[in-house]
Structure 1
């Protein structure tokens, strides 16, 4: 049986708060151009089943930017914090949401996992932590 963790998180200003309990899966680091443009570096994400994410406040404050033909990026409309990546129109991933790890309360209990979209990573850094690297998604 997969171990689960409880998580709580919020945006920078605290207008959006959320929590849940989900499988303890490794954090992925996405190096695609969109993620780097969105957050000025790799997007560190904890992917959970969408049904496991519950808003405790500010759900109506979350706004989404349609960043591709199959995914959207959620942010706080008050402080601009990057919160979620959701492939809501992708058949394989529509029932999962990637939470920006920096929004989660410490300690998270999470561990670092794979690097994805390394083929398009920025030229200003190297990936030297020994974690698995994939040219595209894992």
Structure 2
């Protein structure tokens, strides 16, 4: 069981079971939303419990994806592909150890010019 919350505590999540390996997304939208790059992991919705759903604001960033954040403190929470049965949870939401590590970097063709990726993980242009 893994627990997490936003900065103010208005939204709390619980994920049942082991967490999959997250990826780091360097796309323009993730960089603008998070202020750097986004790190998240994909979890089936059936394994996620959310308390404080009324505090979540959703931004429809494309036809297929919405992004969830806390309407009180602004913390990035979810990247939610509407047509699938999973959601991506931002790694910064988790309290305590996650017992996982990054698997890869995606959308590196859009990464900021102010940093380099040097951890040796796979890098996908898209």
Normalised to the residue count of structure 2, the TM-score between the two structures is: 0.95
CA contact (8 A) 2:69 2:76 kept: yes
Matched, 1:10 2:10: no
* Partner in structure 2 of residue 72 of structure 1: 66
State the Cα distance separating 1:23 from its structure 2 match: 4.3
In 2, Cα distance between the equivalents of 1:50 and 1:130?
Answer: 31
State the Cα distance separating 1:84 from its structure 2 match: 0.4
Matched, 1:46 2:46: no
- Unaligned residue ranges in structure 1 (runs of 5+): 1-5
CA contact (8 A) 2:19 2:98 kept: no
Matched, 1:122 2:106: no
- Unaligned residue ranges in structure 2 (runs of 5+): none
CA contact (8 A) 1:22 1:49 kept: no
CA contact (8 A) 1:29 1:43 kept: yes
Matched, 1:103 2:93: yes
Structure 1: which 4+ aligned runs deviate by more than 4 Å?
Answer: none
How many correspondences in the alignment?
126
In 2, Cα distance between the equivalents of 1:97 and 1:67?
Answer: 15
Report Cα offsets for 1:90-123 as digits up to 9, x if no partner. Answer: xxxx111110101101111111111000111111
In 1, Cα distance between the equivalents of 2:85 and 2:66?
Answer: 13
Normalised to the residue count of structure 1, the TM-score between the two structures is: 0.87
